[in-house]
Amino acid sequence: MAKDGAGGRARPGRAPAPAGRRSRPRQAEVAELAGVSQATVSLVLSGRDDATGRAISQETRRKVMDAARSLGYVPDPAASRLAAARNNLLGVFSFTATFPTDVRHSYYPFLVGVEQESAAQGYDLVLFTGSSTGGAGAGESSALHRVRLADGCLFLGRHAPTDELGRLVADGFPVVHLGRRVEPEGLAWVGADYISASRDVVTALAGLGHRRVLLVREDDDAPASTDRERGFREGLRAAGLPDGPGAVCRSGDPGREITAERVRQWLDEGVTAFVAEETDTGAAWRALRAAVDKAGARCPGDVSLALLGSPPADLAGEPPPLGFDIPRPELGAEAVRLLSALISGEPAEKKLVTCTFRPGRTAGPPPARPAAT
C-alpha cells in the first residue's frame, strides 16, 4: 500500500498494462499504479504543485514518475490547453511521403485556402506527412501522436487510419478531416457535395439525349468515390436510364483495364456517354481518354465524355470536360474555421460545400443510329 503524499487515501498498486495495449494511458491509470490521487498525478506531471502551495514529498514524486514511465504515459496537449495558453499552431497532416506543395498537385488549392484562413485567424501552420508512419496505412497507436504539438490538426487523404483518428477524437484533441468520412464517430469534417454534383452531370447528359451512360471509377471504397457513384446512379434513375450492374465499371484490377477493345464493345452495346471520377492521380480519366482515342472514337461526335471533378493540372490545356469544379480553396478555408471553433470549445459540425457545374466541350448529342431495315 502506498500513501498519497498530498493527503489522498491509500490505494493498492497494480501491474502495468500489457505492452500491446492500443489506447493511450491516462492520468487515472498512473494514479492507480502509483497509489496516489489523480489530483496529485496532475500536479506532479504539470509541475504546478509549488504554485498551489501543496507540498508533495520526493518519494511521492518518484512513485508518480516511475508509474508514468512504466505505463508509457505522455501528457495530453488537448487537456493541457485547458490550463495553459494555446500555441496558436494548426497542424496539417497529409498521408503522403512528401508534402504536396507542387501547384499541379490536386491538394495544392486546399492548402492555399488553409494558409490564407489560418493567417486571417492568427495561426501558424505545422506541416506533417505520413513518411515516418507508413503513409495512409499508418495504424500504430502512436502513428499520429506528433500532431499534438499543435492546438488542433487538419487531415487530408483519400484513405486515413480510422482507429488512430478515433483515438485523437476520443482524447478530445481537435481534429477536422478535409473530405466526408463516415468513421470514426464524432469526427468533424468538411467535404464537397459530390452526390448532388454528380447527379447534375448525368442530368445534363440525359438532357442531350443520351440513353446509355457508363461510369468509370477506381476500385476502392473511399467516401469520395462512393458519393460520386451514388449521385451518378441517382441521376440515372431520375432520368429513367438503365441503372444495373453494367452502369458502373471499377477499373484498376487485372481484367478490368479500360482498353480500346472495351470501349468499342461498349459503343456496340449502345453506350454513348462515359463518365469518369476524379482522383489524386486522375487515373480513371487518363485511362478513359486514352482508350477512347485509341478506339478511334471522336469526342463529342461519336461519344461524349464527362469528368466528376477537375482534370489533372497537366491536362488543363485540353478542352474542358463536362463536369464540375471542386471549390478546394473554399473547402480548406472552411476546414480551418471549423477547426478554430473546435479549439475554442464549440460543438463539432460537419459541412458539405456545393460544387460548380462546368458545361465543358466534351459532350454533345449522341450520334444518330442507322435506321433498322
Whether 315 and 263 map to the same domain: the answer is yes
For 49-63, 231-245, 285-299, 345-359, which range has the lowest pLDDT when averaged over its residues? 49-63
Whether 260 and 272 map to the same domain: the answer is yes
Per the rule left: phi > 0, alpha: psi between -120 and 50, beta: everything else, 300 is alpha
pLDDT at 347: 80
The pLDDT-based confidence of 79 (bands split at 50, 70, 90) is low
Whether 172 and 103 map to the same domain: the answer is yes
pLDDT at 136: 45
User: 322-325 and 356-358: which strand pairing?
Assistant: antiparallel
What would the pLDDT profile of 203-227 be if each residue is shown by its tens digit? Answer: 999 999 999 999 999 888 888 999 9
The pLDDT-based confidence of 82 (bands split at 50, 70, 90) is very low
- The more confidently predicted of residues 58 and 53 is 58
Q: Which whole number is the average pLDDT over 24-53?
A: 76
- d(C-alpha 106, C-alpha 363), whole Å: 24
Neighbours of 299 (CB within 10 A): 18
Whether 169 and 318 map to the same domain: the answer is no
Whether 276 and 345 map to the same domain: the answer is no
Residue 190 has pLDDT above 70, yes or no: yes
Whether 149 and 231 map to the same domain: the answer is no
The pLDDT-based confidence of 3 (bands split at 50, 70, 90) is very low
Query: Of all residues in the chain, what percent carry a pLDDT higher than 70?
Result: 79
- Do 154 and 162 touch, CB atoms closer than 8 A? no
pLDDT at 253: 60
Whether 308 and 201 map to the same domain: the answer is yes
pLDDT at 103: 63
pLDDT at 98: 65
User: 273-277 and 248-251: which strand pairing?
Assistant: unpaired
Host domain of residue 313: 194-326
The answer to whether residue 215 sits within a structural domain is: yes
Residue 359 has pLDDT above 60, yes or no: yes
What would the pLDDT profile of 253-270 be if each residue is shown by its tens digit? Answer: 666 789 999 999 999 999
Whether 295 and 228 map to the same domain: the answer is yes
Q: How many CA atoms lie within 13 Å of 130's alpha carbon, on the beta-carbon side?
A: 19
The pLDDT-based confidence of 52 (bands split at 50, 70, 90) is very low
The pLDDT-based confidence of 48 (bands split at 50, 70, 90) is low
The answer to whether residue 83 sits within a structural domain is: no
The answer to whether residue 280 sits within a structural domain is: yes
- The more confidently predicted of residues 350 and 274 is 274
Whether 28 and 135 map to the same domain: the answer is no
**3-state SS string for 84-117:** CCCCCEEEEEECCCCCCCCCCCCCHHHHHHHHHH
The pLDDT-based confidence of 164 (bands split at 50, 70, 90) is confident
Tally of structural domains, the chain = 3
Q: For residue 222, give the CATH number of its domain.
A: 3.40.50.2300
Domain boundary among 42, 75, 108: 75
Domain boundary among 29, 50, 75: 75
The answer to whether residue 65 sits within a structural domain is: yes
- Do 297 and 267 touch, CB atoms closer than 8 A? yes
The answer to whether residue 371 sits within a structural domain is: no
pLDDT at 163: 85
The answer to whether residue 167 sits within a structural domain is: yes
Whether 246 and 319 map to the same domain: the answer is yes
Domain boundary among 28, 48, 75: 75
> CA angle, 208 as apex, 192 and 212 as ends, to 5°?
80
- Do 10 and 1 touch, CB atoms closer than 8 A? yes
pLDDT at 116: 95
pLDDT at 346: 86
Average per-residue pLDDT in the chain? 83
Residue 143 has pLDDT above 50, yes or no: yes
Residue 141 has pLDDT above 80, yes or no: no
Residue for cell digits 440525359? 206
pLDDT at 28: 84
Per the rule left: phi > 0, alpha: psi between -120 and 50, beta: everything else, 318 is beta
Which parts of the chain are beta strand (E)? Answer: 89-94, 124-129, 152-156, 175-178, 188-192, 213-218, 248-251, 273-277, 304-308, 322-325, 350-353, 356-358
Q: Which whole number is the average pLDDT over 54-58?
A: 77
Whether 188 and 200 map to the same domain: the answer is no
Whether 266 and 188 map to the same domain: the answer is no
Q: For residue 70, give the CATH number of its domain.
A: 1.10.260.40
- The more confidently predicted of residues 334 and 81 is 334
The answer to whether residue 111 sits within a structural domain is: yes
- The residues, ordered by sequence, that sit 6+ positions from 93 with a Cβ below 8 Å of its Cβ are 128, 129, 130, 144, 147, 153, 154, 155, 156, 157
Residue 239 has pLDDT above 90, yes or no: yes
The answer to whether residue 81 sits within a structural domain is: no
- d(C-alpha 224, C-alpha 202), whole Å: 17
Residue 4 has pLDDT above 80, yes or no: no
Residue 246 has pLDDT above 50, yes or no: yes
